Structure 1
Amino acid sequence: MSLAGRISHAVGTGLAPLLPFWLELRARRGKEMPERLAERRGEAASRPAGPLLWLHAASVGESLSLLPLMDALVERRPDLHLLVTTGTVTAATLLMQRLPPLLADRVHHRFVPLDVPRWVETFLDGWRPDGAIFVESELWPNLTAALARRGIPLALVNARISARSARLWHWAPGLMRDMLGRFSLVVAQSEGDAERLRRLGAPGAVYWGQLKAAAEPLPADPAELARLRAMTGDRPIFLAASTHAGEEEIVCAAHAALLPRFPDLLTIIVPRHTERGAAIAALAAAAAVPRGVTRRTEGGDPVPEAGIHVADTLGELGLFYRLADVALVGATLVPKGGHNPLEPARLGCPILLGPHTENALEAAEALLDRGGALPVASAAALAQAVTDVLSDPARGHAMATAAAAVAARSAGLPGRLATAVLGIMPALRDGVARQRGYCS
């Protein structure tokens, strides 16, 4: 074991006695499921018979991006079971809601164990996966080391590392080189990410496309969509999607600036974290919105008397993208890196992007370059961009068409990734699960 590996092992072991208290605190804050805290210690395994592939994604966007890949994997190996781990409650909830029926009986969800050596070993002893796929930047030293010791093949897909993170890793090059060297396949989400990963210790890193670009369109309840369309009629609708703190103030200021031109404007705010709904509604009310504010979790609807509607529910973003005439993608007006701009692109909604798009830089640049999105950086710029789209339907249609073309470019990526992943995992490639104490 390298010096960096020994340090990581010691740190993980040393923190273990304190982590249960931290998990309990997170549970009280709604960030963990109290009844499932044992999973964070690697417990509660229930391994199915036959071949098992483990897929890990930290949060919502990463986990949902796995759906087309999982579909492609099971299509190629119909006997395959999938263990999917996430790190957040929201990701777990949405993932299980979105699973198509053909995958539902093949997918087993658990929360990922914390990177404590003993807990990692408990997890792997219980599940005995035949291979593992990690998504984006989920690199854990003790976990990857344990997988490598057991000879379990590893793939890193949709891999991402920012220029800033790459610079920070130069302070611990051995640790990063050790972790990346454990992956037999590294597929980056942009050529820039691939180059940074190659410099840090993954010489075979390649770029084939953006996995999130291949996801299915966000779902929506057709009956609810029809009901809301009937309620809103021909009102112009501006959506602020997956917003973070600091963005709602800008959105409310833009809403006020738009009212003289569009007096019946409806602005819908969908916060990234639904528990912020009450605070956002209070902020909007304090902005003296002439038509008032409604909240979806309180049974409120975007009625004619409402100027701002706070849609603080989980899993309904597809509904509001379909309802909107133009949408701001959240986490782009504040330095959070931006959420996935291809979600509105797949749903024919004109897109507005703030300056912070590092998390999906290639997709954002392609949308801006091809006229599928407009850049905004302030409340005034946001109001002007909304005006440009609402006052010129032909422009909005052209933006939506250009954005859809960008989103369609990665349609074949899940199949290519599935073939490559199975190709590096002998037990899955050869159609025979390795014998680890179970019957295939």
Structure 2
Amino acid sequence: MSGAWHHLAGLAAPALRWNLRRRVARDKEDPARLAEREGHGAARPPGRLIWLHAASVGESLAILPLMEALAARDPALTMLVTTGTVTSARLLPQRLPDALRGRVLHRYAPLDVPAWVARFLDGWRPDAAGFVESELWPNTLAATHGRGIPLALLNARISDRTAARWGRWAPGFARDLLGRFRLIMPRSAQDAARLQALGAQGLTPPGDLKLAAPPLPVDAAALTELRGAIGGRPVLLAASTHPGEEAQIMAAAAELRGSWPQLLTILAPRHPERGAELGEAPRRSLGQGPDAGPLYIADTMGEMGLLYRAADIAFIGGSLVPHGGQNPLEAARLGCPMIFGPHMENFQEASGGLLAAGGARQVQDAAALAATMADMLTHPDASAAMARAAGAWVSSASDLPGRMAEALLALVGPDGAVEKA
């Protein structure tokens, strides 16, 4: 199967090039950096270089603590981070700590076309490579492994559905693909079991890197301004919502306003470009603040740290509809009491851990949402205790970035010589 994929990807190069141009028109690609998708743009500095590949925003921000740990342990190290989305390319430089500036380089990842991947590797010549979560591109992994570059799969995850599909239809392909990794650090015990059943070797004890991420940043002046506009009103934040959820949340909020007539609901859609379709209300993307009305639409990027700090309750989106949920850990780090729906499959370990620790509440459907939010508003002390429990649970993974950094650096010798398997 890997040979067929290699052949087909090469044949697909013209169509992929056409699709990249089409994505430029939709602001899904950066026209000034489109050549990077074909492996161009290398500017390798001297010395040791570790390549870290993260798919998008969540994964790229999750590896910030890892990069800090790597930098602290190896002052001569440069890190190359590749991602596949415009949003991640724009947000990552904003989130880099001062200590990492100049030591972290960003490029768009080459698509999984053999010639494009070869060009990328020829230019960058990484000493080791870490792929984050489920980024398993066959040609990229084969080419990297074939050059003797040690590979690590970090925060590795695989869903039940994907594992079952691979186990049934392509067990040999899965075993070969996973066998290219010298080191696999699974996100959870469940992920570890699925990966091991598919033939993965070199598994370490599980640990979720997203638990160790720093609190989302905030602009202090913007927070002061937003809190001033809100006044003393109670605030419900619907964070990272998806189509089909906003109407249910607004219906629940309408019920609550019978007892809390000043309630302000902030809708922060997962895809900010949907802001215009969410109703007639002030929109943050237009420079507007909340007015006396019941709704405010926060359709901007990179401001969840602001919104969680301004909220009394956060509903975690993607969980009332069968999307799999969004990251509940951001709210936990910022002391915002949270609630989510039944669909948290994408964050099963995190949501289960938070619930077991008493750090979150879960509803099974929209009908229970208003009653649960009313209880949380009625008992603020209990909600605050829940938020403290969530924060304590999240802090339990504080040593993980250091352990991950040491395992990754162990693949590279002190002068850039690759450790032999």
Distance 2:372 2:101 in 1: 42
Show the counterpart of 1:212.
Answer: 210
Distance 1:189 1:5 in 2: 26
Mapped contact 1:208–1:413 kept (Cα < 8 A) = no
Show the counterpart of 1:276.
Answer: 274
Distance 1:32 1:255 in 2: 37
Deviation at 1:125, TM superposition (A): 0.6
* Residue 320 (1) aligns with residue 320 (2): no
* Residue 64 (1) aligns with residue 64 (2): no
Match of 2:39 among 36, 39, 42: 42
Deviation at 1:175, TM superposition (A): 1.6
| Amino acid in structure 2 at the alignment position of 1:128 | R
SS in 1 for 2:233: coil
SS in 2 for 1:235: coil
Deviation at 1:168, TM superposition (A): 1.1
Mapped contact 1:247–1:333 kept (Cα < 8 A) = yes
* Residue 344 (1) aligns with residue 331 (2): yes
| Amino acid in structure 2 at the alignment position of 1:201 | G
Structure 2 matches for 1:365-404, cutoff 5 A?
365-404=352-391
1:369-402 Cα offsets, whole Å, 9 max, x none, are 2211111233321211211111111111111011
SS in 1 for 2:63: helix
Deviation at 1:120, TM superposition (A): 0.4
* Residue 301 (1) aligns with residue 289 (2): yes
Deviation at 1:173, TM superposition (A): 1.4
Show the counterpart of 1:290.
Answer: none
Distance 2:270 2:282 in 1: 17
SS in 2 for 1:84: strand
Show the counterpart of 1:24.
Answer: 21
Q: TM-score scaled by structure 2?
A: 0.97
Distance 1:370 1:15 in 2: 49
Mapped contact 1:326–1:351 kept (Cα < 8 A) = yes
Mapped contact 1:155–1:184 kept (Cα < 8 A) = yes
Deviation at 1:92, TM superposition (A): 1.4
Mapped contact 2:192–2:206 kept (Cα < 8 A) = no
* Residue 262 (1) aligns with residue 260 (2): yes
Structure 2 matches for 1:184-195, cutoff 5 A?
184-195=182-193
Deviation at 1:147, TM superposition (A): 0.5
Deviation at 1:155, TM superposition (A): 0.5
| Amino acid in structure 2 at the alignment position of 1:432 | D
Distance 1:151 1:315 in 2: 38
Distance 1:237 1:275 in 2: 23
1:400-428 Cα offsets, whole Å, 9 max, x none, are 01101111110000000000111122xxx
Mapped contact 2:308–2:314 kept (Cα < 8 A) = yes
Distance 1:392 1:67 in 2: 36
SS in 2 for 1:79: coil
Matched pairs, number: 417
1:266-316 Cα offsets, whole Å, 9 max, x none, are 001111111111112x3xx4xxxxxxx11001121112x221111111100
Show the counterpart of 2:162.
Answer: 165
Distance 2:190 2:224 in 1: 42
Distance 1:253 1:341 in 2: 22
Q: TM-score scaled by structure 1?
A: 0.93
Q: Where do 5+ consecutive residues of structure 1 fail to align? A: 286-292, 436-440
1:74-100 Cα offsets, whole Å, 9 max, x none, are 100011001000011111111111001
1:27-85 Cα offsets, whole Å, 9 max, x none, are 11111111111111111111111111000000111110000000000100011001000
Distance 1:379 1:192 in 2: 29
Identity of matched residues, %: 55
Distance 1:178 1:315 in 2: 38
Show the counterpart of 1:246.
Answer: 244
Mapped contact 1:141–1:175 kept (Cα < 8 A) = no
